[in-house]
Amino acid sequence: MEKLQIRVSGMTCGGCERSVQKALTSRQGVASAKADHAAGVVAVEFDPAVIARAGLEKAITEAGFQVTA
């Protein structure tokens, strides 16, 4: 398993955090996701043999949020 922090913009509340977490944990290979709207980040634990960073970012954008550099 690998851990990664991804910067996310557009999260403004706890509901947004849950949406991002649900979008990520619904993907195969993601063990956990913990979003923090105040910090604008989500910490993800995932299996890189199953899902790549691009797949994680796609899940976030499909949920209606933006991945920032």
Write out the two tokens for 34.
């913990």
Domains of the chain: 2-68 (3.30.70.100)
**pLDDT tens digits, one per residue of 13-50:** 999 999 999 999 999 999 999 999 999 999 999 999 99
Confidence label for 69 from pLDDT (cuts 50, 70 and 90): confident
Look up the pTM and report it.
0.92
**pLDDT tens digits, one per residue of 56-68:** 999 999 999 999 9
Give 30's contacts (C-beta < 8 A, 6+ positions apart): 24, 44, 45, 46, 47, 51, 56
Phi/psi class of residue 11: alpha, beta or left (left: φ > 0; alpha: ψ in -120 to 50)?
beta
Phi and psi torsions of 46, nearest 5°: -150, 165
